[in-house]
Structure 1
Amino acid sequence: MDQSRVGETTEPKAPLPAETVSLPARGFTIDRGKALIAAGVLWPVWGLMIWLVTHGRTEGFDHSGLMLYRAGVDLRPLGGTMLEEAVRDITALGGVLLSTFSACAAVVALLFLKMRREATLFALTVFLGWGLNALMKTLVGRERPTLVPHLTEAAGYSFPSGHSFASAMIYIGMALAFASLSSRHSVRYTLIGSAMVISAMIAWSRVMLGVHFPSDVVAGWSGGAAWAFTAAALLYEPAKRAADSHTAHRLDPMEHDAD
């Protein structure tokens, strides 16, 4: 034992003044090769679910999934009202209001962090993704399940699940954007993995509430996640050019504050 340290006390360090705190060095980007690999795994799942649904091959899977949490003559879900309310809270994270608010808040936060390229990329991902999901709903035109009671309001076509697609696209896309702040793989994988788990919970909550078939949410989640990874890889250069344009510099509020 070092005798010179006996009796010493460690003085708490004073917090750094706000002016000395700075963001990590910029320049990190998501590995676009890995993003394309992830997309390459997910797109076939999306395509397979479209084929199975349009050819009527998911009846057994859909019936088993919808009945999994239900019992009794009224087919009420197991777990009581507390679990039912928790599932509604989870599903709200993928609703139009909260998911749109989260997306807008993320874009603003990215701009404040001077990550204009990531903000532009994320905005493009969400805007184009909504159009892709709406197109698929119109083309397939599947009605919602009537096998079990609906425990929340839902309108429009059932396939693919809009909550599932939007939550995967928005939360995974958001994680990919903010992961650019760190060069550490552990930080990046934690952010992206957490977003995948949360969005998958939102997707399955739609089945538990009886408003979507399991095949709807598998297709919606895999399509939304695949699009988030695809956009991160393929739209980065167009987003970078748009973010670095003269018009973007003029519209960036953070640059005006610095003047």
Structure 2
Amino acid sequence: MFNRLVSSRHVQKAHAFVTREAPLLAAIAIIGGLILAFLQIADEMVEGEMEAFDRSILMLFRDPADIDQVVGPAWVQEMVRDVTALGSFSLLGLIVLAVCSYLLLAKMREAALLVLVSVIGGTILSTLLKMSYNRPRPDLTTMSHQFTASFPSGHAMLSAVTFLTLGALMARFAPTRPLQILSISAALFLTVIVGVSRLYMGVHYPSDVLAGWSLGAAWALLCSTVAALLQRRGAVERPA
């Protein structure tokens, strides 16, 4: 009888541990999968195995009669320029500055620091990878001037880092499940449209954008996971 009781308690403790740690284990698995996806894309890009895929996707946004011309009327092109600006360093910097200022005024210093570390760390990582791979931009007439290498897409990666980090932060402090879903959905939507805008403008290959999304999402999820662990220890403010 005593042995059964002890065994039952062990089973209950094990079940409680798995239940408590399941989100953390899932996050680690997803982060690992995203990093592997980035490495796979990078490896195939270096070996030239992405050329056919990249070109076929880029041509979807080009006039078959003149590949130097994008499809769609002038107002669509102007709208795409506005959308792609959402992933620019200057605009993302202003967003992060505003968010961190709000968090500091709300006496949430640790949360502000996590946002800052996430975005600055993602920016440094993106810059180092661009310098490492040094991939030339697509040989197409584009709608803007570019001064950095192509792989990975800085706009795609930094928009994923910034919007997904902020979306996860808002979701943790959202009082209801619908608001949590809205926060994450809005972050995903903004990340996707910024990446697609880079393809429409012809300034990046699809593999650049996919790599940027993969690594940016991995970095954002890593920072969010660290924040959740710090919340457990009381080092970061808990949601209301």
**Are 1:73 and 2:66 an aligned pair?**
yes
1:108-257 alignment to 2 at 5 Å?
Answer: 108-146=101-139, 148-234=140-226
Q: Give the Cα separation in 2 of the matches to 1:164 and 1:152.
A: 16
Asked if 2 retains the 8 angstrom alpha-carbon contact of 1:45 and 1:219, the reply is yes
Q: Which runs of 4+ in 1 moved over 6 A?
A: 238-244
More helix by share: 2
2:84 to 86, 91, 100: 91
Post-superposition offset of 1:42: 2.2
Number of aligned residue pairs: give it. 213
Post-superposition offset of 1:40: 3.5
Post-superposition offset of 1:197: 1.5
SS of the aligned residue for 2:87 comes to coil
Corresponding letter in the other structure for 1:75: D
Q: Give the Cα separation in 2 of the matches to 1:76 and 1:53.
A: 25
Asked if 2 retains the 8 angstrom alpha-carbon contact of 1:117 and 1:240, the reply is no
* Greater C-alpha radius of gyration: 1
Deviations 1:155-183 (A, max 9, x none): 11100011111101001111112222125
Q: Give the Cα separation in 1 of the matches to 2:78 and 2:26.
A: 38
SS of the aligned residue for 1:120 comes to helix
Identity value in percent: 32
Deviations 1:165-218 (A, max 9, x none): 110100111111222212533322221121011111101111110111111011
Which residue is 1:18 aligned to?
A: none
Corresponding letter in the other structure for 2:91: L
Asked if 1 retains the 8 angstrom alpha-carbon contact of 2:142 and 2:201, the reply is yes
Q: Give the Cα separation in 2 of the matches to 1:32 and 1:120.
A: 21
SS of the aligned residue for 1:75 comes to strand
Q: Give the Cα separation in 2 of the matches to 1:35 and 1:111.
A: 28
Q: Give the Cα separation in 1 of the matches to 2:133 and 2:67.
A: 30
Q: Give the Cα separation in 1 of the matches to 2:234 and 2:90.
A: 27
Post-superposition offset of 1:240: 9.3
Corresponding letter in the other structure for 1:145: P
Which residue is 2:42 aligned to?
A: 50
Post-superposition offset of 1:149: 0.9
**Are 1:106 and 2:99 an aligned pair?**
yes
Which residue is 2:6 aligned to?
A: none
Q: 1:179 and 1:212, CA in 2 relative to 1: closer, same or farther beyond 3 A?
A: same
TM-score (norm. length: structure 1):
0.75
Post-superposition offset of 1:93: 0.6
Asked if 2 retains the 8 angstrom alpha-carbon contact of 1:66 and 1:207, the reply is yes
SS of the aligned residue for 1:157 comes to coil
